[in-house]
Amino acid sequence: MAELKDKRILVTGGAGFIGFHLCKKLTDLGLNVTIYDNLSSGKMKNVKDVPKAKFVKGDILDLKKLCNMDKTDVTFHLAAQVVVPYSMENPTEDFETNARGTLNVLEKARKDDSRLVFASSAAVYGNPTQMPTPESYGFHPFSCYGLSKVVGEEYCQIYSSQYGLDITILRFANVYGSRCHGVISDFLDKLTKNPNKLEIIGTGQQSRDFVNISDIVEALILAGTKENTVGQTFNLGFGKTTKIIDLAHMILRILNLSGKTVVTTTDVSWQGDINTIWFNIDTAKKELGWTPKITLENHLKKLIAERKMLHGDNDSL
């Protein structure tokens, strides 16, 4: 990553799941990294586990504090309120963090003439009728979270076209891996407590495009360094979709619990939940030079082995 050598890198939300893995990779490469996080959802453990990074406890809503920080050359803007049900119950707070907060980070980038990579979401597409969904599908948000991400993207476009900032937008599908909170960790936690029963929120027919954190970190770094990515928007997923019920059975098979664990569903999902996420990732492959490498099943085996959760013999591991 010679392009980032001697660059001052700012990672907002660097104490979160994706931020931790990005900051660890960047500091392992010997780069100058500052984590900016208010620790509302990020964890101090993640900060401590990246000891080579500088840490500033701060909120992206604090424009004065942001702009008084040292000059930044490259900004990875990951800080966000990402819980869809929370956004539906607290839409104004979700807007403040994701829309106004992004505007503040853009102001910091404008002041510094910093390159910026913005983390957006599949939620901007809502429930798409075109699958796999390309970047050109357009905005059809189905939740307040998705809408606030649309606003963030639109501000990025304005700051790019009107102020000449070098900005790349990345739309994440379902990112998973160690230290992640989501459906995979939820299932593993439930099965650790009670391997005889697994409850799925919703019908189980919801479908997601799962992409590993290692692949996402690679894409983030490419987006922050390659010249041809400036002004572009990329879908980042694996390019396939998996039903949540199939994910559950995949996990049970790896754990040797197939036919032993009773799987139930609530049949009622949360407000704003999306039916299917399935990305077309052709643009990222072509323009970003990025292809995801880690399959869901292989990484599940690794996660389960790390947790020492195996029940009985399983030769597939």
Q: Which residues are catalytic?
A: 145
- Residue 119 in contact with residue 80, Cβ under 8 Å? yes
- Residue 76 in contact with residue 105, Cβ under 8 Å? no
Amino acid at 185: S
**What stretches of 113-206 show up as alpha helix (H) in DSSP?**
144-163, 183-193
Burial class (CB in 10 A: 0-12, 13-18, 19+), 21: buried
C-alpha dihedral, 152 to 154 to 158 to 160, nearest 10°: 70
Output the CA torsion sign for 244, 246, 250, 255: positive
Beta strands in 54-142 (DSSP E): 54-57, 74-77, 115-121
How many Cβ atoms are within 10 Å of 24's Cβ, its own excluded?
18
How many Cβ atoms are within 10 Å of 266's Cβ, its own excluded?
12
- Exposure b/e, 271-303, CB count within 10 A at least 16 = b: ebbbebbbbbbebbeeebebebebebeebbbeb
User: Residue 155 CA to chain centroid, in angstroms?
Assistant: 19
- Residue 279 in contact with residue 132, Cβ under 8 Å? yes
